[in-house]
């Protein structure tokens, strides 16, 4: 993925016999950055160094993405969440503030649901899993025949044309938006047959031809005890900003930050503002503490969120 910032070489750890690539920078309270579908840890490159000034920042390539392994395996939200739990524990971190973008937001919510004792705060950035609507091109990946169409396009190099086109616009002084560049870069990764297969498995685990089929909305009340920040690009064309407003209403005590004029990658549209908003949120909130008795009461409807 193209970026104005360069990160140090990523590290690699073997988990369950598969290599997992990740960036590890800084010192301080752990901050886990979770990227979106067909993306990688490089998507955070414009904000990662600034965040590392006050935090231990862990930015992995999810399984099936970037430089991590791309096995024929489980690409469900639950499997991603378990893999991230294992990574945190292997690196010596019991808890972290989770920052999830797009697919990563859905994974962060699943992580919070599966492992509440390991979550200090939750930050959802243009997150999936909060409504049915999603861009047609992602829904198309779930249609019959996509297994043959996408690899064929990758073989011809057509999937990389978007990224090359974005770079060409830059040479002519016409700068594509961060949303266009982010989407184009993601498509370019699908020229790798293993990445293309992992993309299809991931997309079909959460999306069908009608839109997103996995939703966290019925369980968002459980996040009321976890400090939650919702960040959204006002002009997101992949996942509409209305999902952010709806989540804000459903998560008690959550904060909502709308980036005016930004698209699906607000942390690339305005990196300085994103870092400032995230730092302020962390500074102003105390880490969550899991309470099994209270959780049981909320699930039984005996305790208000």
Count of CB atoms situated within 10 Å of the CB of 276: 12
Count of CB atoms situated within 10 Å of the CB of 156: 11
Candidates 126, 236, 269, 270; catalytic one: 236
102 is catalytic: yes
Candidates 43, 264, 269, 270; catalytic one: 264
Taking the C-alpha atoms of residue 97 and residue 220, their distance in angstroms, rounded to an integer, is 17
Q: What angle do CA 283, 255, 213 make, to 5 degrees?
A: 125
Candidates 40, 41, 45, 102; catalytic one: 102
Tokens of 24: 């590890």
Tokens of 160: 């990389």
Dihedral angle of Cα 216, 123, 62, 179, to the nearest 10 degrees: 100
The count of C-alpha atoms lying within 13 angstroms of the C-alpha of 214, restricted to the half-sphere facing its C-beta, is 18
269 is catalytic: no
Residue 221 CA, chain-centre distance (Å), reads 21
175 is catalytic: no
CB 145 within 8 A of CB 204: no
Q: Is 157 exposed, middle or buried (0-12, 13-18, 19+ CB in 10 A)?
A: exposed
Count of CB atoms situated within 10 Å of the CB of 116: 18
CB 120 within 8 A of CB 95: yes
Active-site residue list: 102, 236, 264
């Amino acid at each position: 993925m193209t970026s104005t910032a360069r990160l140090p070489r990523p590290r690699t750890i073997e988990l369950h016999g598969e290599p997992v690539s990740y960036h590890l920078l800084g010192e301080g309270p752990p901050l886990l950055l979770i990227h979106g579908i067909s993306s990688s840890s490089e998507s955070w490159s414009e904000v990662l160094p600034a965040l590392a000034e006050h935090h231990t920042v862990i930015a992995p390539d999810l399984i099936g993405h970037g430089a991590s392994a791309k096995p024929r395996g489980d690409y469900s939200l639950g499997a991603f969440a378990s893999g991230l739990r294992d990574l945190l524990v292997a690196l010596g971190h019991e808890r972290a503030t989770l920052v999830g973008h797009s697919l990563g937001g859905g994974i962060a919510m699943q992580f919070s649901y599966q492992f509440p004792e390991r979550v200090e705060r939750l930050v959802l950035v243009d997150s999936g899993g909060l409504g049915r609507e999603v861009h047609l091109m992602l829904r198309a990946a779930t249609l019959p025949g996509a297994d043959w169409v996408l690899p064929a396009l990758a073989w011809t190099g057509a999937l990389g044309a978007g990224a090359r086109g974005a770079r060409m616009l830059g040479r002519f002084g016409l700068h594509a938006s961060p949303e266009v560049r982010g989407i184009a870069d993601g498509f370019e990764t699908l020229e790798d047959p293993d990445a293309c297969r992992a993309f299809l498995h991931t997309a079909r685990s959460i999306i069908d031809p009608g839109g997103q089929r996995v939703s966290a909305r019925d369980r968002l009340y459980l996040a009321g005890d976890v400090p939650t920040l919702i960040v959204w690009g006002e002009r997101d064309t992949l996942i509409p900003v209305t999902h952010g407003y709806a989540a804000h209403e459903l998560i008690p005590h959550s904060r909502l930050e709308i980036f005016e004029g930004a698209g699906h990658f607000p942390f690339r549209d305005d990196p300085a503002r994103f870092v400032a908003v995230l730092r302020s949120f962390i500074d102003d909130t105390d880490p969550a503490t899991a309470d099994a008795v209270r959780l049981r009461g909320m699930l039984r409807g005996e305790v208000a969120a």
